[in-house]
Amino acid sequence: MIALGLKGAGLVHWTGGDLPQAVVLGCWGGGWLVVALFALADAVSRHREYKRIKAMFVRFGYRERILRPLARSRCQRDAAIFAADETGHGDTARQYFSKLGYRWYHIMPDLVVRNPFAFLSPSFLRSSFLPGKKARAS
């Protein structure tokens, strides 16, 4: 809503002839629109991740091997814990992540804590927004 409001205000200034103000408002609106699209993409990705993890818990039961690759990110841990709750393994999954040292205040992904510019790397974006198995070369 903020993005659309700023874009609309930019258009009003544009038609009124105030080009610098229109550009500033348009850029702010565009920036907020990009943030909203990233949030939407992340939400869709986390939902896909949840469905994938839940299917693995249903098929194989509780296995730490399922949870191990998901420990690096708070979003992935939350999706895994929710899927584990749905299949009756929630307490065990929480204990596993707690045993690894993760607490409620560990929000940033491990890679970003080590390197703040990792948000810009293609591999981080791919693992964040395209979860699942990697295709193997034949």
Asked, for residue 116, whether it belongs to a domain, the answer is yes
Residue 3's pLDDT is what?
Answer: 61
How many domains would you assign to the chain? 1
Asked, for residue 100, whether it belongs to a domain, the answer is yes
Boundaries of domain holding 113? 2-129
Asked, for residue 138, whether it belongs to a domain, the answer is no
Cβ neighbours around 50 below 10 Å, total: 19
- Check whether 56 has a pLDDT greater than 90: yes
Residue 131's pLDDT is what?
Answer: 62
22-26, 32-36, 46-50, 60-64: range with lowest mean pLDDT? 22-26
- Check whether 135 has a pLDDT greater than 60: no
Backbone phi, then psi, for 72, in 5-degree steps?
-75, -15
pLDDT tens digits for range 73-118: 898 999 999 999 999 999 999 999 999 999 988 888 887 888 888 7
The pTM (predicted TM-score) of the whole model is 0.68
Token pair of 73, please? Answer: 């990110």
Most confident option among 35-39, 42-46, 78-82, 106-110: 78-82
Residue 137's pLDDT is what?
Answer: 55
Distance from the Cα of residue 36 to its chain's centroid: 12
Residue 14's pLDDT is what?
Answer: 63
Q: Can you give the three-state secondary structure of the chain, one letter per residue? A: CHHHHHHHHHHHHHHCCCHHHHHHHHHHHHHHHHHHHHHHHHHHHHHHHHHHHHHHHHHHCCCHHHHHHHCCCHHHHHHHHHHHHHHCCHHHHHHHHHHCCCCCCCCCCHHHHHCHHHHHCHHHHHHHHCCCCCCCCC
Token pair of 21, please? Answer: 């103000």
Among the listed residues 48, 84, 91, the one whose alpha carbon sits nearest the alpha carbon of residue 66: 84
Asked, for residue 31, whether it belongs to a domain, the answer is yes
